[in-house]
Copies of this chain bind each other. A is one copy, B any other.
Amino acid sequence: MKNNKAIIITIGDELLIGQTIDTNSAWMAKRLNELGIDVVRRIAVGDTKEAIVDALDDAIARAAVVLVTGGLGPTADDITKPLLCEYFGGKLVVNEVALENVKTLFIRRNLPMLERNRKQAEVPDNCTVLQNSRGTAPGMWFEKNDAVVVAMPGVPHEMMGMMEKDVLPALQSRVTTDTILHRNILTAGIGESFLAEKIIAVENALPDYIKLAYLPSNWTVKLRLTAKGKNELQLTQEIEQFQQLLKETVGEYVVGTVDEPLESTLQQDFTAQGLTLAIAESCTGGGIGHTLTQVEGSSKFFTGSVVTYDMSVKERILGITAEDISQYGVVSENIAIQMAQRVRDVLHTDIGFGITGWLDKSEEPDKEPGGTVWMAVAGKDKIASRKFVFPYDRQRNKEVAVQMALLMIWKMIHGKAD
């Protein structure tokens, strides 16, 4: 049964030489999944005819839905459109709606339209054309051997627009599928193996249509339950019972039960409690503020931050004295706590957070090795501080430090600060 199966093909040499990270596939997979369509394989190939045809043959043999992105641009390395036209035995003709769209875009940008842009409005005569409301390259919907092949631009927001507007609704009305449900539990402070031991009885009690996966990332472990079946109501009840059982079994290590990043949880919790937050970042350079403000509505609780990348800023804006820095060391518990308290006071918030550390090389190797980070969080009447020694490279240490910072703030406002 290939009926509810999908394969995603992404096209572009940049994916095969490591110049680009493929974010399109994950987004498309998530959306297909919500319709109950199983993505069984993702394939990335380069800009060559042989490789693309090979991938199409493979995909059509295995799946009823094949989504293709990339290679539809106006330049010579974009070969997907003529290739698909030949593959499905059609010929290129101008699509008037697409041509109007290209013309309008060029008028709006106040630029002359080039012959190569006019060519973007040409489409195979044997496909259904998907108009591109966010760019010049139209999408194409082909059918062959009970398989649907949809080609879309590789530019993420153009692809997303086309998916939302045309592709997903058309697929939904077409496929008859099982319901697929996911439920998650985010844990922190316990390793994957210990977690597995702790929940072994629950794991063994799962029926074969509910799967459990462990997703360790940035010093947290996410548990994901996936249920598949016909009866959505019954399936929902069952998966939520197991989620609840897991939550009780994991106990104190549970941080959340929704599949969203910690910054979203924080946004909801701060807003619900009516609290505000200020941050003094040193080694993370702005990464904590950046992460918090990825979420819409973060301005309701995140007042702002001071990035004290150079030592002088700790003095100038936060009023931490050079004497203290020299006495305790710039990477120390004392300075982290002062940063948390002073940024809270300077920015007039309820909670203050401070972080200071050496992400890679230490400038005080005799005192603290590279990777040493001190964090502190100052609440209304409680202060917590913690030292980490992160063992990775600069960028990964930063990434984990940001996650541990969010976790420490979360603990403070949940009365779990230690």
Report chain B residues within 8 Å CB of A316. 346-348
A259 to B, closest residue via Cβ: B19
Report chain B residues within 8 Å CB of A291. 286
Nearest CB in chain B: distance from A29 CB, A: 4
Let me know if B33 and A26 touch, CB within 8 A: no
20 more A-B residue pairs beyond the given contacts A18-B29, A76-B196, A306-B306, with a C-beta to C-beta distance below 8 A: A13-B213, A16-B33, A17-B33, A19-B26, A19-B215, A21-B26, A25-B44, A40-B45, A43-B44, A75-B193, A77-B213, A134-B391, A156-B396, A285-B286, A286-B290, A289-B290, A294-B398, A296-B360, A304-B308, A305-B307
Let me know if B19 and A22 touch, CB within 8 A: no
Chain A residues engaging chain B, CB cutoff 8 angstroms: 13-23, 25-31, 33, 38-47, 51, 55, 58, 73-77, 109, 111, 114, 116-117, 134, 155-157, 182, 191-194, 196-197, 203, 211-217, 224, 226, 259, 279, 281, 283-294, 296, 298-299, 302-310, 312-313, 316-317, 346-348, 360-361, 391-396, 398
Let me know if B313 and A303 touch, CB within 8 A: yes
Report whether over half of chain A's contact residues are helix, strand or loop; otherwise say mixed: mixed
What are 11 A-to-B residue pairs whose CB atoms are below 8 Å? A16-B41, A40-B51, A41-B45, A42-B43, A58-B58, A75-B192, A116-B193, A155-B216, A294-B398, A304-B309, A312-B347
Nearest CB in chain B: distance from A322 CB, A: 15
A182 to B, closest residue via Cβ: B17
Let me know if B304 and A307 touch, CB within 8 A: yes
Let me know if B21 and A214 touch, CB within 8 A: no
Let me know if A18 and B13 touch, CB within 8 A: no
Copies of this chain assembled into the complex? 2
A21 interface neighbour in B23, B211, B286, B298, Cβ under 8 Å: B23
A313 interface neighbour in B74, B155, B347, Cβ under 8 Å: B347
9 closest residue pairs by CB, A with B: A285-B293, A286-B289, A18-B30, A286-B286, A18-B29, A304-B313, A42-B44, A286-B290, A305-B307
Let me know if B289 and A285 touch, CB within 8 A: yes
Let me know if A73 and B216 touch, CB within 8 A: yes
Complex Cα gap A17–B45 (Å): 20
A394 to B, closest residue via Cβ: B296
Complex Cα gap A68–B147 (Å): 29
A17 to B, closest residue via Cβ: B33
A224 interface neighbour in B14, B306, B309, B310, Cβ under 8 Å: B14
Complex Cα gap A15–B10 (Å): 14
Nearest CB in chain B: distance from A290 CB, A: 4
A285 to B, closest residue via Cβ: B293
Report chain B residues within 8 Å CB of A33. 16-18
Let me know if B22 and A22 touch, CB within 8 A: yes
Report chain B residues within 8 Å CB of A285. 286, 289-290, 292-294, 298, 302
Nearest CB in chain B: distance from A227 CB, A: 13
Complex Cα gap A348–B54 (Å): 60
Complex Cα gap A360–B75 (Å): 32
Let me know if A26 and B20 touch, CB within 8 A: yes
A278 to B, closest residue via Cβ: B313
Complex Cα gap A292–B394 (Å): 13
Nearest CB in chain B: distance from A180 CB, A: 8
Let me know if A213 and B14 touch, CB within 8 A: yes
